[in-house]
Structure 1
Amino acid sequence: MELNPNKIEFLISAVAKEQYPETNLPEIAMAGRSNVGKSSFINAICGRKNIARISSKPGKTVTLNFYNADNQFVFVDVPGYGYAKQSKKEREKWASMIENYFIHREMLHACVQIIDLRHPPTNDDVLMYDFLKQLDIPTIVVATKSDKLPKSKLQKHVSIIKKELELEPEDVIIPFSSTEKYNVDKVLDAIEERI
């Protein structure tokens, strides 16, 4: 699958299902903890520098952001999880918004879960993966920041993530770098298989 960078457009920021766009396109959600590089990932996949705004403050995205990817599918950027400075009330509001989207959205075909390849998955990463599996949502684990590791250590770190998440056989894990655009094609192929 190839995307035309000129045909990527931001659709809407939504907090409730009444606001979700009706495009009839398959949706691919994107989840990851705050500050793991979701915006950089979207920009790299879409071949655009700033389609997704990169914030220096973690926990900044508090809405579901919908992007039309060349009329082939819709990327849905889910607010980052595990941001400690959010109040309990904000975290509860976040959880119910996320649950409503993942549980009730019929257009949702798969989720890209972004995890930092340099470190073992956090408890929040494991909880998120388990949540997706409870709902039977196909998951593509993108292990980002691969450019920060020597190539010889990539497989070792991939194995750690697989083991910690107890990755199911039908799910894939792809080492990725937004900076070097490493494995963009593999991620797009994995998305294509699921839509």
Structure 2
Amino acid sequence: MSDEQAPVEEIMIQDGEDAAQEIEALKLEVAALKDQALRYAADVENTKRRAEREMNDARAYAIQKFARDLLGAADNLARATAMSPRDSQDPAVTNYIIGVEMTEKELLAAFERNGLKKIEPAKGEKFDPHLHQAVMEQPSTEVAAGGVIALLQAGYELMGRLVRPAMVAVAAKGSTAPGAAEPPTAAANPYGAAPSDSGGSIDIKS
């Protein structure tokens, strides 16, 4: 190898090392930009979700009072249908009852379409303080303690927010449901005095 070729090879090696370093630096820069882009995309998505949630909350809050005011009308329609004379032979009365029932169904359907859902706990359902309000407490032989005995007034929730709790009667402490296991009786004390065979005392004196 001549003296003139040695510097050329050294220059080529140096250029190759510089190119490799530059490529590595570019890779790191691309990775950093990619990570930054992903972070920006995540921030945009989080901002979008937060805006949607705030918009839904604002909408629910705006119609909550209006929905609460309509509950009285729904309650009155429910009472009217419950107290209607079903056995009436008068066509006018029958048509009136049908009209009231249709009005109630349409109102409840409108509630559902706008996110207002009815809360109607069934008999025996566990009392939920977040959704129910105990108006009275009674002993029961059909429902276990802490369960709902009867629904007195339906409750409502609007898009997950409680508008009015369901008014219920709750089984008092000591109530047991049919088939529930009875508390175990106390076992006999093996160290207790055994009963005597006779009613009198035993004279052990000689």
Query: Aligning the two structures, in what range does the TM-score lie when normalised by the shorter sequence?
Result: under 0.3
Name which structure has the greater RCO, CA cutoff 8 Å, separation 6+: 1
Judging by fraction of residues, say which structure has more strand: 1
- TM-score, normalised via structure 1 length: 0.26
Judging by fraction of residues, say which structure has more helix: 2
- TM-score, normalised via structure 2 length: 0.25
Q: Which has the larger radius of gyration?
A: 2
